[in-house]
């Protein structure tokens, strides 16, 4: 029998109907990050930032989680719910920043600074999480660092998020030299030009942006923090300094507001590798499945749980 996904180019509506049907049959839940393409966001049961998605993944009544995002997000879900089948529909949806530090490199750093606490951004591999005391995301990084007793903090892998956190704490932050290519390429000139084009707009940027871009912004938020701000603000216009996929959700959630990308080049190509066809194929075949070896998952879970315990 020909599988549904082998048929020639069914339309979006047909894809959606098949996905909904299979989702029910397999008792699956679809989670999507705010950067996913519009069609994928539209079929998701829950859309969010990294922290919201991790919390959701830890607390779901389902047999299957279809994670429309990148590898470290699906890994985190698999670590938190080892009894569930976690699918990453685009097997090659990796996060280049997460690959900028290895567990071996972190071990060397820990040996050099034995009194420092290790905070890892959730954008890391399971092996790096397993070597860390606690995780953080862009929405809770300052709170997580402030919750620790140690004065020295090894902060991996994002140097920009590390330097943002350093603005709000007296602790010594020792950032790794990693970065997100999507946010790090946004320049102060981009902000100046966008303000010229939209003089009444507020500028919101993500803390993965460079310090000199953060300096020029009106507000700094995680992706869901930006959406909340846009919806609740009395202002009408916003310049959005993060990955462009977020504009879809802003237009949907707050249609009375105008949101302009700070840089049209802020595109995370790996976030765009998931589409409806891959989601459908993934539900049909229950592949590609994300698994994490038990010894690594057991250690990494401690770091993730410590983060989730801090409200």
State the residues that interact with ligand SF4 by CB under 6 A. Answer: 70, 95-97, 123, 180-182, 243, 268, 270-271
Question: Minimum distance between the CB of residue 179 and ligand SF4, rounded to whole angstroms?
Answer: 9
Residue closer to ligand SF4 by CB (options 91, 286) is 91
Binding site for ligand 13P (CB under 6 A): 34, 49-51, 95, 123, 137-139, 180, 206, 208, 222-223
From the list ligand 13P, ligand SF4, none, pick the one residue 96 interacts with, judged by a Cβ distance below 5 to 8 Å according to partner type.
Answer: ligand SF4
Question: Minimum distance between the CB of residue 33 and ligand SF4, rounded to whole angstroms?
Answer: 8
Question: Minimum distance between the CB of residue 270 and ligand SF4, rounded to whole angstroms?
Answer: 6
SS3 of 185, please? coil
Please give the distance of CA 292 from its chain centroid, rounded to a whole number: 19
Rounded to an integer, what distance in angstroms lies between the CA atom of residue 145 and that of residue 142?
Answer: 5
Rounded to an integer, what distance in angstroms lies between the CA atom of residue 59 and that of residue 218?
Answer: 34
Residue closer to ligand 13P by CB (options 116, 303) is 303
From the list ligand SF4, ligand 13P, none, pick the one residue 201 interacts with, judged by a Cβ distance below 5 to 8 Å according to partner type.
Answer: none
Rounded to an integer, what distance in angstroms lies between the CA atom of residue 240 and that of residue 251?
Answer: 12
From the list ligand SF4, ligand 13P, none, pick the one residue 137 interacts with, judged by a Cβ distance below 5 to 8 Å according to partner type.
Answer: ligand 13P
From the list ligand SF4, ligand 13P, none, pick the one residue 50 interacts with, judged by a Cβ distance below 5 to 8 Å according to partner type.
Answer: ligand 13P
Residue closer to ligand SF4 by CB (options 123, 125) is 123
**Residue 122: other Cβ atoms inside 10 A:** 25
Cis-peptide into 271, omega within 30 deg: no
DSSP code string of 119-173: EEESSS-HHHHHT-SEEE-TTTHHHHHHT-S-SEEEEESBHHHHHHHHTT-SSEE
Contact 150, 110 (CB under 8 A): no
Structure tokens at 177: 């030299």
Residue closer to ligand 13P by CB (options 36, 85) is 36
Cis-peptide into 157, omega within 30 deg: yes
From the list ligand 13P, ligand SF4, none, pick the one residue 130 interacts with, judged by a Cβ distance below 5 to 8 Å according to partner type.
Answer: none
Question: Minimum distance between the CB of residue 173 and ligand SF4, rounded to whole angstroms?
Answer: 19
Tokens 């919750």, located at residue: 147
Residue closer to ligand SF4 by CB (options 15, 179) is 179
Rounded to an integer, what distance in angstroms lies between the CA atom of residue 31 and that of residue 65?
Answer: 7
Rounded to an integer, what distance in angstroms lies between the CA atom of residue 137 and that of residue 52?
Answer: 10
From the list ligand 13P, ligand SF4, none, pick the one residue 190 interacts with, judged by a Cβ distance below 5 to 8 Å according to partner type.
Answer: none
How many helices and strands in the chain, by DSSP H and E? Answer: 15, 12
Question: Minimum distance between the CB of residue 54 and ligand SF4, rounded to whole angstroms?
Answer: 14
From the list ligand SF4, ligand 13P, none, pick the one residue 140 interacts with, judged by a Cβ distance below 5 to 8 Å according to partner type.
Answer: none
Question: Minimum distance between the CB of residue 212 and ligand SF4, rounded to whole angstroms?
Answer: 18
């Amino acid at each position: 029998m020909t599988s549904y996904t082998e048929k020639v180019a069914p339309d979006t509506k047909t894809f959606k109907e098949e996905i909904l049907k299979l989702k029910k049959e397999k008792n699956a839940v679809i989670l999507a990050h705010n950067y996913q393409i519009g069609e994928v966001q539209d079929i998701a049961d829950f859309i969010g930032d990294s922290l919201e998605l991790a919390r959701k993944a830890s607390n779901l009544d389902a047999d299957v989680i279809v994670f429309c995002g990148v590898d470290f997000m699906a890994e985190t879900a698999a670590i938190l719910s080892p009894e569930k089948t976690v699918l990453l529909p685009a097997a090659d949806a990796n996060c280049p920043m997460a690959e900028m530090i290895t567990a071996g490199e972190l071990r060397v750093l820990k040996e050099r600074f034995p009194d420092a606490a290790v905070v890892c951004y959730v954008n890391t591999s399971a092996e790096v999480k397993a070597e860390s005391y606690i995780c953080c995301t862009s929405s809770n990084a300052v709170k997580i660092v402030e919750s620790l007793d140690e004065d020295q903090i090894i902060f991996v892998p994002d140097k920009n998020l590390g330097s943002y956190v350093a603005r709000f704490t007296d602790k010594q932050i020792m950032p790794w030299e990693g970065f997100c290519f999507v946010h790090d390429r946004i320049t102060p000139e981009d902000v100046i030009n966008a303000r010229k084009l939209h003089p009444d707009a507020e500028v919101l940027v993500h803390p993965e942006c460079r310090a000199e871009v953060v300096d020029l912004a009106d507000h700094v938020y995680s992706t869901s923090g930006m959406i909340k701000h846009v919806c609740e603000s009395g202002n009408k216009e916003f310049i959005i300094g993060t990955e462009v996929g977020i504009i879809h959700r802003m237009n949907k959630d707050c249609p009375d507001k105008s949101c302009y990308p700070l840089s049209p080049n802020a595109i995370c190509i790996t976030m765009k590798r998931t589409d409806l066809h891959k989601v459908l194929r993934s539900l049909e075949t229950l592949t590609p499945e994300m698994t994490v070896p038990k010894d690594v998952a057991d250690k990494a879970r401690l770091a993730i749980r410590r983060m989730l315990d801090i409200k």
